[in-house]
Amino acid sequence: MAFKTDIEIAREAKKKPIQEIGAKLGIGPEDLVPYGHDKAKVSAEFIKAQAGKQDGKLILVTAINPTPAGEGKTTTTVGLGDGLNAIGKKAAICIREASLGPCFGMKGGAAGGGYAQVIPMEDMNLHFTGDFHAITSAHNLLSAMIDNHIYWGNDLRIDNRRVVWKRVLDMNDRALRDVVTSLGGVPNGFPRQAGFDITVASEVMAILCLSNDLADLQERLGNIIIGYTRDRAPITCRDIKADGAMTVLLKDAMQPNLVQTLENNPAFVHGGPFANIAHGCNSVVATKTALKLADYVVTEAGFGADLGAEKFMNIKCRKAGLAPSAIVIVATIRAMKMNGGVAKADLGEENVQAVIDGCPNLGRHIENIKSFGVPAVVAINHFHGDTEAEIKACQDYVESLGSEAILCKHWADGSKGTEALATRVAEIADSGMAQFQTLYPDDMPLMQKIETIAKRIYRADEVLADKKIRDQLKQWEEAGFGNLPVCMAKTQYSFSTDPNLRGAPDGHSVPVREVRLSAGAGFVVVVCGEIMTMPGLPRVPSAEQIMLNDEGLIEGLF
Amino acid sequence: MAFKTDIEIAREAKKKPIQEIGAKLGIGPEDLVPYGHDKAKVSAEFIKAQAGKQDGKLILVTAINPTPAGEGKTTTTVGLGDGLNAIGKKAAICIREASLGPCFGMKGGAAGGGYAQVIPMEDMNLHFTGDFHAITSAHNLLSAMIDNHIYWGNDLRIDNRRVVWKRVLDMNDRALRDVVTSLGGVPNGFPRQAGFDITVASEVMAILCLSNDLADLQERLGNIIIGYTRDRAPITCRDIKADGAMTVLLKDAMQPNLVQTLENNPAFVHGGPFANIAHGCNSVVATKTALKLADYVVTEAGFGADLGAEKFMNIKCRKAGLAPSAIVIVATIRAMKMNGGVAKADLGEENVQAVIDGCPNLGRHIENIKSFGVPAVVAINHFHGDTEAEIKACQDYVESLGSEAILCKHWADGSKGTEALATRVAEIADSGMAQFQTLYPDDMPLMQKIETIAKRIYRADEVLADKKIRDQLKQWEEAGFGNLPVCMAKTQYSFSTDPNLRGAPDGHSVPVREVRLSAGAGFVVVVCGEIMTMPGLPRVPSAEQIMLNDEGLIEGLF
C-alpha cells in the first residue's frame, strides 16, 4: 500500500483565499492583514473590539511521553479541529509556529500530517509572516545596546562578566554557542565571553507569547534582567532604554496569524517558545482571540503532559486567566509498545502484552490531568498496522481507570476519522464538568512549587538542590519574584529526569542543576538536566537536499 | 514658517490599496502577492510572462559628492517619477530598501522627504516584506554549514584560518566585528577568528540584486568563495552544498516589492547593497520588471556620481544589459556652498561667490557622465533659503558647460515642483540621443580597469598598489576572473580618497589597500581607504527614543 507524503497531500489541497477563512470567524477583509493570498494577521484593532464577547470552550491536546515511534499531537489537534467543524460546531485551532533553524538540520514539518495538516506548509516552515525574524531583531537590538552602553562609558556600571543576555539566531549553529565578542581593539569595545541561543529560546519569544497586548509586551520587555553590577544589583532592559524600540519591532509580530487546515477550517499559528526553558505554548493573544471568535478552540502544548500540560495550566492559564474545559491525551499503540519495552525495529509485530505493559505511562498522565480538575479523554492516533487486539487492550486499560480512549483515523481520513472524538469532546466541554485549578497557589515559596510538581506530577520522592540554588531562590523571593510560577526544564522522554526510564516510574529523585530568572516572561526556570538552547546541524544536514525543482517547487524541506 | 515633518506628511497621505497601484501598471490582483494592504510583491510568474514586451526608457538619478548639507537624491527620484506621471507619462520609480540596523543608530528614512516620499514609510524602515531577513538567514545558513562541515571531519580540507565567509546581522553592533567562535570544547567545534558584517554588506545581497531569476541566483550563490584550503585552493558555496537551500530561503525575496508614492504612483523598492563593497543599486529584477511595465523608469544609485553612477553603468548596466537614456545629477545650492568652502553653520547666509567656487564639483560630474555617452541634466533640489542670485549662479555655470540646470521644488510642492524637469527628461529620453557605453571593456586587465576609473573619473594621476595586490589581481586573472568589472570602495565625500578634499581635485594618487573577490556577485572589490562593514551605535542611539505613542503610532523612527 503506497501512501502519499504529507507534502503531496498538502499540494493537492484546495486552498481558499484567506479572506474566506476569516469570514468563517466573522473577520472582515479589512481586519485581515494579508501575507500572500493564504496567510493573514488579524489586526490589533479588530482584536481589541472583541473584548466584550463571550468566550468559547478551550480544549487542550496533550500526549504521553514522546517516543521515537511518534505520537502525533499536532496532527490530532488539527484532526480534532476539523472533526468539530465536521459535526457542525464552530471551531478553530491554535498551534505554534515552526522554527527555521531545525528545518535545515534533521527535518521540517510542524504543521500536522496526512489528512490533518495546516497549510501553506512550505511558508510555515520557512519565513511565514516574519514573526521569528522580528523576535530575532528585537532580541539582538537589546544585545547591541548593552555592549554599546558599556562601550560609551558604562554609566549603569554593568559588570562585563555578568551580562546574562545573549544574542540569538534562528539557525542551528553550534559554533555560536560560546564566543568571545568585541575583539580587535578599542573601536570594537571590551572583549567578553558571550554566546548565541536559537531564537525560540529567547525570552522575547516567551514574552511575546504571554503578553495580552502591546502595553503588556512593553512592560514585560522592560522587566528583562540583562545582567548585574559588580554588587549583583540587576540591570533591566528598561535601564538600557531598549523596551520602546523592541516593542516597535514586535508590533506586527504581536498580531496572530490565520491560516487554514486541509479542510479549510481556521487555524491560528502564532508564537513558538521552547518547551524546556520556556512554557511551550502558542501565544495568549492567539488563544484569546480564537476564544472570542469560535465556540471551541483546540490547542496543544509542547512535549508530554508532565511538561507541556503542566506548564500550559500552571503558567499560561494562570497568567492569562484561561481555563480548559476538556483535555485530550494523545497516545499511539506503537508508543505504548515502546513504553512496554519493544524496540523501534519490532514495532511492526502485534504485541498485546507490550501494549498492556506500556499503558501505565498513559494511566499516570490521565491521573495527573484529572488532578487539575479537568476531564480527560484519550485519543488513540491510529497507525496503519495497529491490530484490533492491541487497540482493545489500550481501550480496556483506559476504561478500567474510569476514562475512555477513542480511536481516531484523521491521518488517513481527515475529519471523518475524528467525528467520534469530536462529539465526545464537545459533550464534555459543554457539560461544565471542568473545575480547573492550578497545582499550586502564587504565594507558595519557589522551592515548594518545585517540590509540588516533582512529587505530584513526576511522582518523585525528593528534589535535590544544593545550598547555592536554595539561596538563589530565597534571594529572588526577597526581591519580589516569589509569586512567579516555575518553568520546569527536564527531559521530555520520562516522568523522571532519566530519559531512558519509560513507563510510570516513582520513588526517583529530581536533581536541580540550575535556576534562571525570566523576569520579563514571568517565571523561574528550573533546569533538571542538560538543556540545549543552540542546536547543531547533523553530519549531513537536510539543507544539502533542499532546493527548488524544475517546476519551482521546494524539494527536501519535509 | 513651520514645516510639517516627513512623517506627518506621510501619515496624511491618501494611500490607495496596492491592487489599484498594480493596476496602473497592468498587474492584476492575482499577480500581486500582498503584504498588508499597501505593499505587495510582483509574482515571479507574472514577471516571466512579460519577457517579450518592449522596454521603457531608463533614467538614472545621481548626485554631486554628498555633503552634510544633504542633496536629496531619493527625494528627487521620487519627485521626478511623480512629475513624469503628472505630465501624462506612464512612469515608475525603482529605489533601494532601507537597512534596519542604522534606523536604531542615527536616523531612519530612506524613502524620500517632504512631498516626494514613498509610503508606507514606517514599514519600509522596519521589516518591510522581510527581504533583508531572508538574506540574513541565507547568509548565515552558509556560515553554519561551513563550521558544521569542519566539525564533522572537514572532507573538503578547509583551512580553518582561511575561511573568508563571515556571518551577518541587520544590526549596528560593533561587538560582533571581531569574534572568536566555537569556544567551549569538543561539542562546539574548532575555535577560529570570525566576525559579523551588517546584512547590506553581504555578498548575498549583491547577488540577489544582480540576478536575473532564481536559476541565475542559485548559480551565483554556488560561485561564492567561502574560504581556501592550506594550498590556497578556493572552496565554494557549491562545494558546501548550501546553494539550493539558500535559493529556497530567497525565493520570495527575489520578487520585487511594489509600493506607492504620496501621489499614488507605482514605486518598486527592492534590494539594498552597500555602495562601497558592493554596487549600491536596487535589484536588476525590479528595474527590468519596471521597464516592461512603464514607459519611463526613474532609478538611483548610491553616493555621488563618481561612485554610484560609475558602478551603475560599469557593473549593473553591463551585467544586466541595461542602458540609461538620460541621467539627472542632483545638486543643491547649500552643497555647492559647502564645496565652495562655507561651514554648515553659515549656510543660511547668501553667498553667491561660494556657489560659484563650489560649482566645479558639479561640473566634473557632468563631464564624467557625458563620457558614458548619456545626456545629463542637472536638478537643483530647492531648499527654503536658497536665493535667486545663488540659483542663477549655479544655472549660469551649468549652461556655460553646454548643459542645463532646472530648479525643482518637489520637496515643498510634489509633482508640481518637477514638471519642468520631467518634461525635459522625457524629451531627452525620447530623443534617442544617448549612446551608452561602459568605461572599459570586459577583457581589459583588472589593474588597468582600476587605473581607467581612477584617471578618467577621479582624475587621479596614479594608482598606488603594492606587489602583493598586483600579484593577487594577476592570480585571479589566471583563475578566470579577469573579465569581471571592478567595484570601487572609497570615500563618497571626494573625487579623491581624502574625504576632506572637496571641489574638483586632480593630480592626486589613489592608494589601493586591499582587493577582494566577490565571485558570486561577479566583481572584484577594490578597497581604497577605510570601509566599515559593521557600523556601531552612537552614544545615544535613536533606539532610545523609538516607541509607540498612546495612539499606537511609532515615534522617533524618523
pLDDT at B58 over 90: yes
The pLDDT value given to residue A2 = 64
pLDDT at B108 over 80: no
Q: Please tell me whether residue B242 adopts helix, strand or coil conformation.
A: coil
Of B140, B180, B548, the CB nearest to A183: B180
Which one of A268, A303, A312, A558 is the catalytic residue?
A303
pLDDT (mean) for A58-65: 97
Condensed to tens digits (0 to 9), the pLDDT of residues A210-239 reads: 999 999 999 999 999 999 999 999 999 999
Instruction: List CB contacts of A187: < 8 A, sequence separation 6 or more.
Output: B174, B536
Question: What does the alpha-carbon distance between residue B219 and residue B211 come to, in Å, rounded to a whole number?
Answer: 9
The pLDDT value given to residue A29 = 96
pLDDT at B135 over 90: yes
pLDDT (mean) for B385-403: 96
A23 neighbors A90 (Cβ within 8 angstroms):
no
Q: Please tell me whether residue A355 adopts helix, strand or coil conformation.
A: helix
**Hey, which residues does B329 pair with through a beta bridge?**
B62, B378
| Residues carrying CATH 3.10.410.10, chain A | 446-528
Q: What are phi and psi of A92, to 5 degrees?
A: -135, 155
Cα within 13 Å of Cα(B380), Cβ side: 26
- Could you tell me the pLDDT band of residue B2, with boundaries at 50, 70 and 90? low
The pLDDT value given to residue B105 = 87
pLDDT (mean) for B488-514: 93
Q: Please tell me whether residue B312 adopts helix, strand or coil conformation.
A: helix
Partners of residue B34 in chain A, C-beta under 8 Å: 34-37
Contact A171 B141 (CB under 8 A): yes
Percentages (nearest 5) of helix, strand, coil residues in chain B: 40, 20, 40
Q: Quick one: fold of A446-528? A: Formyltetrahydrofolate synthetase; domain 3 (3.10.410)
Partners of residue B179 in chain A, C-beta under 8 Å: 179-183
Beta strands at B196-198 and B167-169: parallel, antiparallel or unpaired: parallel
Buried b (16+ CB within 10 A) or exposed e, A140-157: bbbbbbbbbbbbeeeebe
pLDDT (mean) for A513-524: 97
The pLDDT value given to residue A108 = 56
| Residues carrying CATH 3.40.50.300, chain B | 6-116+258-431
Q: What are the CA-CA distances from residue A306 to residues A282, A354, A368, A457, A458 (Å)?
A: 18, 22, 8, 6, 7
pLDDT at B26 over 60: yes
Identify whether A535 is preceded by a cis peptide bond (ω within 30 of 0). Answer: no
Instruction: Say whether A67 counts as a known binding-site residue.
Output: yes
Poorest-pLDDT segment among A482-496, B58-72, B129-143? B58-72
pLDDT at B307 over 70: yes
Question: What does the alpha-carbon distance between residue B74 and residue B61 come to, in Å, rounded to a whole number?
Answer: 8
Provide the ipTM: 0.96
Q: What are the CA-CA distances from residue A316 to residues A186, A282, A509, A553, B124 (Å)?
A: 45, 9, 27, 38, 34
Mean pLDDT across chain A, nearest whole number? 95
B306 neighbors B69 (Cβ within 8 angstroms):
no
B107 neighbors B542 (Cβ within 8 angstroms):
yes
- Could you tell me the pLDDT band of residue B557, with boundaries at 50, 70 and 90? confident
Of B178, B218, B536, the CB nearest to A148: B536
Q: Quick one: fold of A132-250? A: Domain 2, N(10)-formyltetrahydrofolate synthetase (3.30.1510)
| Residues carrying CATH 3.30.1510.10, chain A | 132-250
The pLDDT value given to residue B529 = 85
Partners of residue B33 in chain A, C-beta under 8 Å: 36-37
Instruction: Provide the 10 A C-beta neighbour count for residue B117.
Output: 28
Residues in A 73-132 with any Cβ partner in B closer than 8 A: 100, 104, 126-127, 130
The pLDDT value given to residue B109 = 63
Q: B456: exposed, middle or buried (C-beta count within 10 Å: 0-12, 13-18, 19+)? A: middle
A350 neighbors A336 (Cβ within 8 angstroms):
no
Helices (H) and strands (E) in chain B, counts: 21, 26
Domain B6-116+258-431 grouped into CATH 3.40.50.300: yes
pLDDT (mean) for B129-135: 98
The pLDDT value given to residue B402 = 95
pLDDT at B69 over 90: no
Contact B176 A171 (CB under 8 A): no
Question: What does the alpha-carbon distance between residue A339 and residue A66 come to, in Å, rounded to a whole number?
Answer: 10
pLDDT (mean) for A377-385: 96
Q: What are phi and psi of A194, to 5 degrees?
A: -150, -170
Phi-psi region of B402 (alpha: psi -120 to 50; beta: other; left: phi over 0): left
pLDDT at A107 over 70: no
Find the largest Cα–Cα distance for chain B.
73
Instruction: List CB contacts of A425: < 8 A, sequence separation 6 or more.
Output: A59, A80, A84, A296, A326, A328, A377
Contact A241 B543 (CB under 8 A): yes
A226 touches chain B (CB under 8 A): no
Mean pLDDT across chain B, nearest whole number? 95
Contact B35 A37 (CB under 8 A): no
- Could you tell me the pLDDT band of residue B29, with boundaries at 50, 70 and 90? very high
Contact A251 B104 (CB under 8 A): no
Condensed to tens digits (0 to 9), the pLDDT of residues B341-389 reads: 899 999 999 999 999 999 999 999 999 999 999 999 999 999 999 999 9
Question: What does the alpha-carbon distance between residue B165 and residue A188 come to, in Å, rounded to a whole number?
Answer: 20
pLDDT (mean) for A268-284: 94
Residues in A 228-267 with any Cβ partner in B closer than 8 A: 241-245, 247-249, 251-252
Instruction: Provide the 10 A C-beta neighbour count for residue B5.
Output: 11
The pLDDT value given to residue B528 = 95
Q: What are the CA-CA distances from residue A65 to residues A54, A95, A305, A428, B173 (Å)?
A: 35, 19, 7, 24, 42
Min Cα distance B27 → chain A (Å) is 15
Length of chain B counted residue by residue: 558
Contact A544 B245 (CB under 8 A): yes
Min Cα distance B405 → chain A (Å) is 42
Q: What are phi and psi of A118, to 5 degrees?
A: -105, 140
* Known catalytic residue at B303: yes
The pLDDT value given to residue A284 = 98
pLDDT at A109 over 70: no
B146 neighbors B240 (Cβ within 8 angstroms):
yes
- Could you tell me the pLDDT band of residue B234, with boundaries at 50, 70 and 90? very high
Contact A104 B245 (CB under 8 A): yes
Instruction: Say whether A72 counts as a known binding-site residue.
Output: yes
The pLDDT value given to residue A5 = 86
